[in-house]
Amino acid sequence: MPQTIVTEELEITGRSGGAKPPSSSGGEGDDGSSGGSALPQRVYVTGITIGMGAILMFFMALVSAFIVRKGVSNDWRAFDLPRILWLNTLILLASSASIIHARRRLAKDDREGFHQWWAITTVLGLFFLAGQLIAWRQMVAAGLYVATNPSSSFFYVLTASHGLHLLGGIFALLYVGWLRLHKLTLSTATEVASLYWHFMDGLWVFLFLILLLGR
């Protein structure tokens, strides 16, 4: 039995180039253009760009709900945002700068410098998340829960959604920094991760402004 299976597969492989109508009956073989992976690296950049578009739509839906909900009702009560959000914002901006620096190191083939700055970025990202949790604790201490008021509801929804997406970014940073890559090259992987990281940064600044100015 195994014998038959093997022959069958051989036959399929043998026929491979020559599906019926075309022609490879002539000279079989490589045209010289060989590549290890069937996937061009740019597809990862395309993928993350589309993913960011989808994520942006999700946040735009939440933000437009924020604007509409505030506009249609008279139960909206403004509250003072936790001060630590300013610090968190600075930390996240700094992480964007450090990821740029990490990629510069990589371009100069300084692996050690790259890993250092990549690690700094990851730690800054974790600091940001910890800072967001502290902001939540301060909200709770001020008696502002999810259901207290639509203003606090939106605060929690927007920060939690952003935090979860940023957590995904941290996993990406860890994956790129510490795991062995198979199909991706390091250059593409860092490009994809840093695109997403800058996006998370810009998105946070946008959400922070909405929360700040839309109170």
Residues that bind another protein in the complex, under the rule CB under 8 A: 9, 12-13, 15-24, 26-28, 30-31, 33-40, 42-43, 46-47, 50-51, 53-62, 65, 68-69, 72-76, 146-147, 150, 153, 157, 161
Tokens 């410098």, residue located: 113
Closest residue by Cα to residue 125 from 82, 179, 158, 162: 162
User: Judged by CB, which is closer to another protein: 138, or 153?
Assistant: 153
CB of 34 to another protein, least distance (A): 5
Q: How far apart are CA 139 and CA 159, in angstroms?
A: 12
Comparing CB distances to another protein, the nearer of 155 and 208 is: 155
Question: Which CB sits closer to another protein, 106 or 193?
Answer: 193
Amino acid at 32: G
Task: Provide, rounded to whole angstroms, the least separation between the CB of residue 100 and another protein.
Answer: 25
- Our CB check for another protein shows the closer of 152 and 194 to be 152
Rounded Cα distance between 117 and 99, Å, is: 7
Instruction: Quote the tokens at residue 12.
Output: 């399929």
From the CB of 76, what's the least distance to another protein, in Å?
Answer: 7
Question: How many Cβ atoms sit within 10 Å of the Cβ of residue 206?
Answer: 15
